[in-house]
Amino acid sequence: MMKKFFSGLLISACLFVFYPVNAQVAEQMIKIMVSPDHDDWQYRTGEKASFTVQVFYHQNLLKGVKAYYEIGPEKMDPVKKDSMLLNGKPFVLEGGTMSSPGFLRCVVSVDYEGKRYRGLATAAFNPQAISPIVKYPGDFRAFWESAKAELAKVPMNPRMTLIPERCTENTNVYHVSLQNIGNSRIYGIVSIPRKEGKYPAILEVPGAGVRAYSPDLNLAERGVITFVIGIHGIPVNLDPVVYSDLGSGGLREYWTNNMDNRDRYYYKRVYLGCVRANDFIASLPQYDGSNLAVTGGSQGGALSIVTASLDQRVKYLAAVYPALCDVTGYLSGRAGGWPHFFDRNNVKYHNIKEKLETIPYYDVVNFARELKATGYYSWGFNDETCPPTSMYAAYNVINAPKSLHLALETGHWTFPEQNILLQNWLIEMLKK
């Protein structure tokens, strides 16, 4: 079921603890509002879309300044490009149509007093009919069953260290280290309710980047075990300079490491590390043994789907703008998912036989095909990091129970109300 909500609410800090850290979408002096002429921003293929543009300065419509606009399929070259002089009134741009399912984006920019301002809107054409480009390998299941068997042979060897300064009256907090494949480890922070009893659990998987992590005390205080993990095999409570150095050094663009070998690709250890994190949760005496969820945004949205697909212990997942979906879409002339391996800037580095053979084993689309867990999904049409074309390519192949919660105007960020609704859904599912 699809639902539109929050069309006129103030933008907040992007993501709470579940999701990747993005900069807050700040208020600006000049606001460019672009609105499709359908309230739900959705059209039939062949139907024409238009966009109403309003440019505000001090909450009044701006005039005497030139506006530049581009219209075309998301992440592709524009099919229309022009400018016009603002006259203090709204103006309408004819966007045209699309002959096949996808997204048509209108981007408007204004230069004012040495600064460029930008606004956009994205019309959807039959998004429920978007099909993936990525191939499904015949041995996909066998590959991952073999990988999980490899993990099962590795002792978990858990290490838990109490973090007294992060504990509360109701919750104990520990730094955790677990053995993973390849003589590596998974690190994270687990928060466990102090009151004697059995509790459901949530694995919280990270967005892209290299950084420290904090406990999720919010949900722990509501009677849920929360386990927030990093994926890079390093402790998650170090000095920030450590992560900064690694992010610009050894872990820079880690998502490309060993991409030409399916058995050594960086994400193999990451995906299996998420399963190992669930092994740890299952070993906790406070866990109720039954109710387990996984959640995250962007890369974490991808890892939520992957983890739930690989591990049948997961009953519920909540994925916000998942990355790594249908990444080969660019090779067929449409937007692919983050990290945009095959866009115009990167295709020359990655469009080689060995990498193309590896990608299908790690693309979220193929994990989505295998899902059994009940899922909550949320994104916006204006996401330029994880294009909606790529996310629908994954969503449309899911046969498990699912619901899609759209906040149409959002890009790679969320409203606080979205986060609250997602949290409440998780609590409701885990405690029903």
Q: What is the pLDDT of residues 102-161, one digit of tens each?
A: 999 999 999 999 999 999 999 999 999 999 999 999 999 999 999 999 999 999 999 999
Q: How many helices (H) and strands (E) does the chain have?
A: 10, 19
Question: Does the pLDDT of residue 56 top 80, yes or no?
Answer: yes
φ, ψ of residue 285 to 5 degrees: the values are: -65, -20
Residue 398 phi, psi dihedral angles, 5° rounding: -75, 125
Task: Give the pLDDT confidence of 374-419 residue by residue, as tens digits.
Answer: 999 999 999 999 999 999 999 999 999 999 999 999 999 999 999 9
Q: Is the pLDDT of residue 86 over 60?
A: yes
pTM of the predicted structure, to 2 decimals: 0.94
| Residue 104: partners with Cβ closer than 8 Å, 6 or more residues away | 49, 71, 72, 73, 74, 95, 96, 97, 98, 122, 123, 125
Asked if pLDDT for residue 37 goes beyond 90, the answer is: yes
DSSP string, 242-263: HHHHHHTTTTTTGGGTTTT-TT
For the residues 39-49, what does the mean pLDDT come to?
A: 98
pLDDT band per the 50, 70, 90 thresholds, residue 300: very high
Predicted confidence at residue 279, as pLDDT, reads 98
177, 298, 378, 390: the active-site residue: 298
Strands 102-112 and 63-73: antiparallel
Give 183-199 pLDDT, tens digit per residue.
999 999 999 999 999 99
- Whether the CB-CB separation of 314 and 308 falls below 8 Å is answered with yes
Q: Which of 35, 383, 390, 405 is catalytic?
A: 383
pLDDT digits 0-9 by tens, 330-368: 999 999 999 999 999 999 999 999 999 999 999 999 999
pLDDT at 69: 98
pLDDT of res. 25:
58
How, if at all, do strands 102-112 and 115-125 pair? antiparallel
Q: 26 falls in which pLDDT band (50, 70, 90)?
A: low
pLDDT of amino acid 2:
35
Residue-wise over 16-55: b if at least 16 C-beta within 10 A, else e?
bbbbbbbeebeeeebebebbbeeeebbbeeeeebebebbb
Question: What pLDDT is recorded for position 432?
Answer: 86
Check 175, 340, 405, 412 and give the catalytic one: 412
Question: What letter does residue 386 receive in the DSSP assignment?
Answer: S
Given a cut of 80, whether residue 266 has pLDDT beyond it is yes
| Tokens coding 32 | 């460019």
Tell me the two tokens of residue 40: 């739900």
Q: For this structure, is 412 an active site residue?
A: yes
Residue 99 annotated among the catalytic residues of the structure = no
pLDDT at res. 167? 98
Rounded Cα gap, residues 404 and 375, in angstroms: 9
Q: Is 119 in contact with 37 (CB distance < 8 Å)?
A: no
Q: What is the pLDDT of residue 15?
A: 34
Active site residue 298: yes
CB count in 10 Å sphere of residue 103? 25
DSSP 157-215: --EEEE-GGG--SSEEEEEEEEEETTTEEEEEEEEEESSSS-EEEEEE-PPSS------
The answer, yes or no, to whether residue 1 has pLDDT greater than 80, is no
pLDDT at 27: 77
Mean pLDDT (the chain) is: 94
Across the strands, what pairs with 294?
A: 203, 317
Mean pLDDT throughout 51-71?
A: 96
**Residue 331 CA: distances (Å) to CA of 101, 211, 344, 362:** 16, 32, 10, 17
Give all domains of the chain, ordered by start, each with its CATH number: 28-127 (2.60.40.1930), 140-431 (3.40.50.1820)
Angstrom distance (rounded) from CA 323 to CA 319: 10
The mean pLDDT value for 277-303 works out to 98
